[in-house]
Structure 1
Amino acid sequence: MYWWRNPENAAGEIYERLNRWARVDAALQSDMVRQHMIGESRTWTATLRELVEIALFSSSPCLIEGESGTGKELAARLIHTLDPREDKRDLVVVDCSTIVPELSGSEFFGHERGAYTGAAGNRDGAFALADGGTLFLDEAGELPPALQAQLLRVIQEGTYKRVGGNEWRKTSFRLVCATNRQLAAEVERGRFRADLYYRITGAIVRLPSLRERRADLIPLVRHFVAEIMPDNRVAALDPAVEAWLSTREYPGNVRELRQVVTRMCRRHAGPGPLTPGDIAIEDRPRARTAADWRGEPMEQVVRQAVLEGAGLKEIGKQAAACAIRVALESSDGNLRSASRKLGVTGRALQIRRASERERGERPGSRPDVNGAE
């Protein structure tokens, strides 16, 4: 339902809203989207609409958040491709996680000949190369503090100097940043500059993980198969393969799914569907062992805790609390039985529970997502 303070403006506003909606719909049907941003789930479609609106109707810096392998660079390329600037230049990609601190100035600002040992000639940096185009900073959360301050100035002033130079140069670019960290939490912890964070978040888009868009999994598999085997030797997926792919976990998200499909296609011979025999040996389900909990499931939990800023001490403390809770529950609250399962004395377990009560915690309580106590 819409309500207007000035009804005489209603017709014009309705027209503009419908026109905007139509432009977004048209962009969603473009080759860039249909051929590269695969998926029709509600979650993914809503995310795509958000990306398209940012590309078409905003020039403000944009932050793309999401786990590793969710397609952050593809999202940045989509924004750049749909950018309506007529004289738009190139998309320049900088992976902030691979920048050597000693050479970071040259990477961004460029350098003059003789600026340092090995600088045999003048060199343009990312700010110059992205002028008139788009600068994509992948893993922006890895930027060192000194470089964060320098980047802030360039964003604010639109000017910079080459390393070893005295001349102020101008640059103008659309800025898109991406991170698999929670930058807002990093700001609170003092690990990322608040002023830079507010500068790069003119818009924030969170890309869903593959487990949040399971309906897109099989369409993605078919897309990857068509890319990897363009001669159409694979007409379909065996139902058992489809079921296995659909129930498997993918900590590496779409990137991991593509690698799994790649390994299957490498083993496939002749026409016909992909079958269980095409599944790579290293990907085949294994019989569970007592040590399985130390593998992928635990790694997923620890990875999430680390990315949200939890320290080693906090992770260990919460793991111990969880172990006590599970032991007590599986022993129907019997302290002696629970202590035997944990390999500690009953006295040690009593002391631990008493300590938790003094801190106001429920004994063996579940850990808070943000590590709060």
Structure 2
Amino acid sequence: MTIYLDYNATTPVRPEVVDAMTPYFGVCFGNASSGHGLGREAKGALEEAREAVASALGARERESVVFTSGGTEANNLAIKGTAWAAWGRGRHIITSAVEHRAVLGACHALEAQGFEIVCLPVDADGLIDPERVKQSLRTDTALISFMHANNETGVVFPIAEIGRLAREREIIFHVDAVQTFGRLPVNVDALGVDLLTISGHKIYGPKGIGALYIRPGTKIAPQMHGGEQEFGVRAGTENVAAVVGLARAALLARESMPTENERLRTLRDRLEEGILCRIPGVRRNGDRDQRLPNTSNISFQGIRADSLMVALDLEGIAVSAGAACASGSPESSHVLRAMGRRPEIDGGGVRFSLGAGTTEVEIEHILELLPPLVERVRAATGQGGGQEYNAEHNP
């Protein structure tokens, strides 16, 4: 039995999405910038998909959606593009210590170019305090950038509250919604955002496609040059097939969200409660309630996360030790360290992220397999864990 529990890393493409994309690899192969019939056909599909994505975001104008190659490019465009466009206003940027590497990397690049980056801390549950955000605002603050939900722990930030703070002070507010779009309701007006990032492959769409919502009137400096595609914001021939796939995946995700979230939450809670009850020396990472319904991040005392990940992989179970984008990095999770965890003592965090293919049978199989597996890995490393650890940190 092969069990996939790494849906926060990527998802399989739905058959309906493949069907929607297929014509644009063959008979409808035109360049959306061409003026002939095939080009106009591609352009029509492009704009129809743009309208669908804008609707999914609650955006009033389809022109507010700019397609990119994925979440990383969209985050870079949002952060660097806004920073350079707002150069005259100020060079102070606020973000958090637990952001995705695409956001932190873009901020570090700007820091090397003279911008001042403030990475706000989170509490032990991985939550950001809006009051701390408020206290950090300055007259020269040009941008606030936070994730909607953390990719490792699933913890959801109070974005709407922060959005109100940004709006009151007329500060540009960017949100990385890669993990929430298609999983939680995302409405750009309700959240109060000026910029919002989404990605196709997190919602059973194709890889290599994402989008950036840009509120009308928001100034942004292009980061790619060479054409006037995407309203002059992002040069390059549009990937029509992938754009169509993203739009179709977004529609399907919205339709299934209510029932699927409840199903995944039930399975996630069953998995998590079983682990906490059956295995000594384990700890949940992240707030119990304010998180995605499909995500559980658990530390196993005395075990490196990558060691347990490999052991599970050998049993046919795919999970993640941190973020997929950081795979191969010798560093421990920057997210867990920001939450005050000590991986060398507490154990690394293993992320179990459930999805459309997850079943109750799979969860029960993992709960039967995991306790003796953890015991073997601990024995191999000469480590152990105690029930006191569970009781103290998981009331």
TM-score (norm 1): 0.29
The higher radius of gyration belongs to: 1
More strand per residue: 1 or 2? 2
| Relative contact order higher in (CA < 8 Å, ≥ 6 apart) | 2
TM-score (norm 2): 0.28
More helix per residue: 1 or 2? 1
